[in-house]
């Protein structure tokens, strides 16, 4: 069998403020560390055995003398602190400037162009949480047929629509229109379709969300693997983050379904790269400042780790990392400019410290070398450090 690389991104699970965090307003952010302190310590025995507590002090998760694999952390080198820039950096690509954000809503020219092109008016155009803005404007949308448009501290143009008021196909088409309209300097990272329904008098978002990302401006690990004929599979929103280029993904409703899909891939006959994103940490708990829920999700992932490890083949490397932080103990619900954990597991992974890597791109460079592809992007491979027998 051929070598396989599995990159598992725990969305938003940062491990401490990056050196330049203060410039992003994130001084003191530490997603894992602050959650652990707020909960009086975490119990994550399998991640502890893998070396999580060796990366940085973590209440309830002490360092172990000999972890099961390699451990370290990675600093963000690319501009920004969102899922798109984080995943692109893992895949070897750096941004020179952050994607634009709109703390006061989008300019009238943007909204008017969207209204003209879609034939519907707009409600909202404010910074808001998805659940709050739906509760606020859903009844008005039912009366007027207007889109609900909102943004956040992230670079996103989000369009919410009741599936019984505006058909899904029309919502998706409107988001595609917005994606084409939002070019530089208004080149937001993602346009997001946010469908919802009314059930028993309550509004609930459905699993029919779609993300329309801006296309990567340069070659990524995925592109290099595609050129070399190496198979690539995705689980979660990863294809959206790369604008569907060089990867197709199975979209999942939650972490539990994502873990089941990862296990199915690991136990199958597929080769090449698996890139997976588990989004509940960020979407359900970080943005909603739910410390207890975040801790519970970490425990649920920890419970699943033995099965994931047991499913690894002899020539598999499993990389566990994150794309940014999202500290639920902070004063805002924004993403945080944080370093991210780096754990490497598999029969060929040595128990060795990888230190603090200067960029997420080192992970992509290592995966490329493991898969015998010359691409290194903006990173430096650490394979000679982690691989047994080298």
Average pLDDT by stretches of 10, the chain with 390 residues:
92 98 95 98 98 98 98 97 95 94 96 98 94 95 98 93 98 98 94 95 90 94 98 96 96 95 97 97 93 98 98 98 97 90 98 98 98 98 93
4-96+214-386 has which fold? Answer: Alkaline Phosphatase, subunit A (3.40.720)
Distances in Å between the alpha carbon of 45 and those of 13, 48, 262? Answer: 17, 5, 21
At the top level of CATH, the class of 108-212 is: alpha beta
The pLDDT assigned to 334 comes to 86
Which pairing describes strands 70-74 and 340-345: parallel, antiparallel, or unpaired?
Answer: antiparallel
CA distance 171 to 114: 12
How many whole angstroms separate alpha carbon 141 and alpha carbon 157?
18
SS (H, E, C) 87-100: HHHHCCCCCCCCCC
Those residues whose C-beta lies under 8 Å from the C-beta of residue 331, and which sit 6 or more positions away, are none
- How much is the pLDDT for 1? 53
Q: How many CB atoms lie within 10 A of CB 271?
A: 17
What pLDDT, on the 0 to 100 scale, is given for residue 331? 80
- In whole angstroms, how large is the CA radius of gyration of the chain? 21
Closest CA to 330 of 28, 39, 11: 28
- Location of structure tokens 């893998």: 50
Domain ranges in the chain? 4-96+214-386, 108-212
* Distance between CA atoms of residues 114 and 155, nearest Å: 17
Q: Which of 76, 28, 19, 98 has the alpha carbon at shortest distance from 342? A: 76
3-state secondary structure the chain: CCCEEEEEEECCCCCCECCCHHHHCCCCCCHHHHHHHHCCCCCCHHHHHHCHHHHCCCCCCCCCCCCCCEEEEECCCCCCCCHHHHHHHHCCCCCCCCCCCCCCCCCHHHHHHHHHHHCCCEEEEEECCHHHHHHHHHHHHHHHCCEEEEECCCCEEEEEEECCCCCHHHHHHHHHHHHHHCCCCCCCCEEEEEEEEEECCEEEECCCCEEEECCCCCCCHHHHHHHCCCCEEEECCHHHHCCCCCCCEECCCCHHHHHHHHHHHHHCCCCEEEEEEECHHHHHHHCCCCHHHHHHHHHHHHHHHHHHHHCCCCCEEEEEECCCECCCCCCCCCCECECEEEEEECCCECCCEEEEECCCHHHHHHHHHHCCCCCCCCCCCCHHHHECCC
116 phi/psi in degrees, rounded to 5: -60, -45
Whether 166 and 199 have beta carbons less than 8 Å apart is answered as no
């Amino acid at each position: 069998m051929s070598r396989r690389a599995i990159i598992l991104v725990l969305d938003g699970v940062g491990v401490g403020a990056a050196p330049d965090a203060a410039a992003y307003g994130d001084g003191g952010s530490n997603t894992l560390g602050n959650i652990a302190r707020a909960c009086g310590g975490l119990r994550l025995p399998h991640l502890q055995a893998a070396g999580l507590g060796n990366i940085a002090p973590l209440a309830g998760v002490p360092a172990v003398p000999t972890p099961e694999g390699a451990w370290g952390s990675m600093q963000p080198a690319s501009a920004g602190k969102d899922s798109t820039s984080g995943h692109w950096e893992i895949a070897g690509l750096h941004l020179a400037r952050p994607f634009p954000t709109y703390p006061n809503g989008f300019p009238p020219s943007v909204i008017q162009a969207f209204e003209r092109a879609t034939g519907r008016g707009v409600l909202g155009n404010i910074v808001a949480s998805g659940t709050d803005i739906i509760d606020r404007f859903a009844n008005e949308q039912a009366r007027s047929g207007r889109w609900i448009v909102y943004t956040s501290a992230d670079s996103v143009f989000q369009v919410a629509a009741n599936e019984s008021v505006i058909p899904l196909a029309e919502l998706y088409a409107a988001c595609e229109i917005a994606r084409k309209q939002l070019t530089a300097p208004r080149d937001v990272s993602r346009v997001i379709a946010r469908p919802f329904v009314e059930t028993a008098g309550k509004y609930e978002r459905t699993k029919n969300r779609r993300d329309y990302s801006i296309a990567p401006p340069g070659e990524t690990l995925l592109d290099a693997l595609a050129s070399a004929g190496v198979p690539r599979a995705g689980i979660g929103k990863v294809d959206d983050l790369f604008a569907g280029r060089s990867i197709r993904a199975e979209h999942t409703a939650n972490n539990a379904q994502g873990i089941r899909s990862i296990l199915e891939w690991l136990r199958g006959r597929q080769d090449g790269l698996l890139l997976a994103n588990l989004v509940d940490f960020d979407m359900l708990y970080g943005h909603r400042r739910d410390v207890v829920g975040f801790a519970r999700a970490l425990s649920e992932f920890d419970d699943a780790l033995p099965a994931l490890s047991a499913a690894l083949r002899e020539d598999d490397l499993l990389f566990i990392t994150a794309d940014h932080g999202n500290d639920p103990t902070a004063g805002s619900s924004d993403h945080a400019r944080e370093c991210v954990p780096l754990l490497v597991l598999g029969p060929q992974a040595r128990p060795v410290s990888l230190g603090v890597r200067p960029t997420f791109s080192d992970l992509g460079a290592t995966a490329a070398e493991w898969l015998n592809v010359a691409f290194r992007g903006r990173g430096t491979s650490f394979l000679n450090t982690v691989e047994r027998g080298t």
